[in-house]
Amino acid sequence: MGIEIERKFLVSGTAWRAAESVHLRQGYLSHDKHRTVRVRLAADAGALTIKGVTAGATRAEFEYAIPVGDARALLDICEGSIVEKRRHVIEFAGLSWEVDEFLGDNAGLVVAEVELESEAQSIARPHWIGEEVTHDPRYFNAALSRKPYATWDR
């Protein structure tokens, strides 16, 4: 079984912008409370991902490459809005940090994720890392497709 252990943080400053980025478009075929089914298009690659219920910072995750044409067709039948973002990958203290700069209805939101070997793993945080939002479901990408950042009361 595929397992994802991931912590999520808000980002401040702009130092992370120096990293190369890739444009991602993703949508959700299922928002069931027991699983999400996501389709993603990143440059010239398509992927289908099934994620289970999150417990702490851990959840089941299965990801499969799919043809780009299939990814485009599946994005057309997704529930909610399509989530668009620029992903910057930054290596820091032996870990890969994925900084997602959201676009469209989620513009203004910048979130960093780091995948870990265990929930107890200690991490060194880059200076641009802010508040941890791992346990706040509003920051899940699936939630952002249903209730975009632009609609939040802040």
CATH number for the domain spanning 33: value is 2.40.320.10
Mean pLDDT of the 116-134 span: 95
Nearest-angstrom CA–CA distance, 72 and 74: 6
Look at residue 139 in the predicted model and tell me its pLDDT.
97
* Beta carbons of 79 and 31 less than 8 angstroms apart: yes
- The residues with which 63 forms a beta bridge, in sequence order, are 49
Known active-site residue 64: no
Tell whether the model's pLDDT for residue 27 goes beyond 90: yes
pTM for this entry: 0.92
**Per-residue pLDDT at 88:** 97
Predicted pLDDT of residue 58: 86
The count of structural domains within the chain is 1
Which residue segment(s) compose the domain that 19 sits in? 3-151
* pLDDT per residue as tens digits for the range 132-152: 999 999 999 999 999 999 999
* Alpha carbon 154 to its chain's center: 21
**Pick the catalytic residue: 28, 64, 139, 149?**
28
